[in-house]
Structure 1
Amino acid sequence: MAMLSENEALIGQQGGRRSLNTPALVLDRAAMERNIARMAAFAADKGLALRPHAKTHKSIDIAKLQLEAGARGICCAKLGEAEALAAAGSVPSILITSPVVSARAIARLVKLHEQTDGLMVVVDHPDNVRALAAAFDEHAPLDLLIDIDPGIHRTGAASPEAAVDLAREIASHPSLQLRGVQFYCGLQQHIASYAERRAAIVERTDYLRGVVERLSEAGFPPEIVSGGGTGTHEIDAELGVLNELQVGSYVFMDNEYGVCQLFDHAENFEPALLVDARIVSCNTPGMATVDAGFKALSTDGGTPVVMDGAPEGTGFIFMGDEHGGLLAADHVFAHGSMVTLQVPHCDPTVNLHDAYHVVDGDTVIDIWPVTARGRSR
Structure 2
Amino acid sequence: MNDEQLHRHLVGRQGSRRDLNTPVLVIDRDALDRNIARMADFAGANGLKLRPHAKTHKSADIARRQIAAGALGVCCAKLGEAEALADEGITGILITSPVVSAPAIERLIALNDRCEGLMCTADNPMAARAIAAAIAASGGPPLTVLVDIDPGIHRTGVADAQAAVALFRTIAAEPSLLYGGVQYYCGLQQHIESFAEREAAMRERAEYLRGVLDALEQAGGKPPIVTGGGTGTHRIDAALGLFTELQVGSYVFMDDQYRACALTGEEDEVPFETALMIDSRVISANSPGMVTLDAGFKSLATDAEPPTIAEGAAEGTAFFFMGDEQGALVNMAGNLPELDSIVTLRAPHCDPTVNLYDTYHVVSGNTLVDLWPVTARGRSR
- TM-score by structure 2 length? 0.97
1:18 aligns with 2:18: yes
The residue that corresponds to 1:175 in the other structure is 176
Note the C-alpha offset of 1:332.
4.0
Q: Please tell me whether the aligned partners of residues 318 and 329 of structure 2 are also in contact (alpha carbons under 8 angstroms).
A: yes
SS at structure 2 position matched to 1:283: strand
Separation in 2, partners of 1:327, 1:307: 15
The residue that corresponds to 1:294 in the other structure is 297
Separation in 1, partners of 2:304, 2:250: 13
Q: Please tell me whether the aligned partners of residues 280 and 290 of structure 1 are also in contact (alpha carbons under 8 angstroms).
A: yes
1:153 aligns with 2:141: no
Note the C-alpha offset of 1:345.
0.3
Q: Give 2:357's aligned amino acid.
A: H
The residue that corresponds to 1:334 in the other structure is 338
The residue that corresponds to 1:324 in the other structure is 327
The residue that corresponds to 1:305 in the other structure is 308
Q: Give 1:361's aligned amino acid.
A: G
Between stretches 261-270 and 319-328, larger displacement belongs to: 261-270
The residue that corresponds to 2:131 in the other structure is 132
Separation in 2, partners of 1:63, 1:235: 24
The residue that corresponds to 1:29 in the other structure is 29
1:85 aligns with 2:89: no
The counterpart of 2:280, out of the listed 264, 277, 287, is: 277
Note the C-alpha offset of 1:286.
1.3
Q: How does 1:57-68 map onto structure 2 within 5 Å?
A: 57-68=57-68
Separation in 2, partners of 1:127, 1:320: 45
Q: Give 1:280's aligned amino acid.
A: I
Separation in 2, partners of 1:287, 1:205: 49
For the structure 1 residues 268 and 328, does the alpha-carbon distance in structure 2 shift closer, same or farther, using more than 3 Å as the test? farther
SS at structure 1 position matched to 2:83: helix
1:151-183 C-alpha deviation (Å, 9 max, x unpaired): 010000000000001011111111111110000
SS at structure 2 position matched to 1:161: helix
Q: Give 2:170's aligned amino acid.
A: E
The residue that corresponds to 1:364 in the other structure is 368
Note the C-alpha offset of 1:3.
4.3
Q: Please tell me whether the aligned partners of residues 286 and 333 of structure 1 are also in contact (alpha carbons under 8 angstroms).
A: no
1:191 aligns with 2:220: no
Separation in 2, partners of 1:35, 1:307: 18
Which blocks of at least 5 consecutive residues in structure 2 are unaligned?
Answer: none
Q: Give 2:281's aligned amino acid.
A: R
Separation in 1, partners of 2:116, 2:15: 43
The residue that corresponds to 1:315 in the other structure is 318
Identical counterparts, % of pairs: 61
Separation in 2, partners of 1:279, 1:201: 44
Which blocks of at least 5 consecutive residues in structure 1 are unaligned?
Answer: none
Separation in 1, partners of 2:135, 2:245: 26
Q: Please tell me whether the aligned partners of residues 228 and 247 of structure 1 are also in contact (alpha carbons under 8 angstroms).
A: yes
The residue that corresponds to 2:104 in the other structure is 105
Separation in 1, partners of 2:353, 2:212: 35
Q: Give 1:237's aligned amino acid.
A: A
Separation in 1, partners of 2:219, 2:367: 58
Q: Please tell me whether the aligned partners of residues 306 and 313 of structure 1 are also in contact (alpha carbons under 8 angstroms).
A: no
Separation in 2, partners of 1:166, 1:233: 28
For the structure 1 residues 307 and 103, does the alpha-carbon distance in structure 2 shift closer, same or farther, using more than 3 Å as the test? same
Separation in 1, partners of 2:320, 2:18: 23
1:376 aligns with 2:380: yes
Note the C-alpha offset of 1:268.
3.4
Runs of 4+ with >6 A deviation: none
SS at structure 2 position matched to 1:9: helix
Separation in 2, partners of 1:259, 1:274: 16
Q: How does 1:236-251 map onto structure 2 within 5 Å?
A: 236-251=237-252
- Count of residue pairs the alignment pairs up: 376
The residue that corresponds to 1:162 in the other structure is 163
Separation in 2, partners of 1:51, 1:172: 27
Note the C-alpha offset of 1:373.
0.4
The residue that corresponds to 2:70 in the other structure is 70
Q: Please tell me whether the aligned partners of residues 279 and 339 of structure 1 are also in contact (alpha carbons under 8 angstroms).
A: yes
Q: Please tell me whether the aligned partners of residues 164 and 218 of structure 1 are also in contact (alpha carbons under 8 angstroms).
A: yes
1:187-216 C-alpha deviation (Å, 9 max, x unpaired): 100000000000000000111011001000
Note the C-alpha offset of 1:4.
3.6
1:45 aligns with 2:48: no
Q: Give 1:203's aligned amino acid.
A: E
The residue that corresponds to 1:267 in the other structure is 270
Note the C-alpha offset of 1:331.
1.9
- TM-score by structure 1 length? 0.98
The residue that corresponds to 1:121 in the other structure is 120
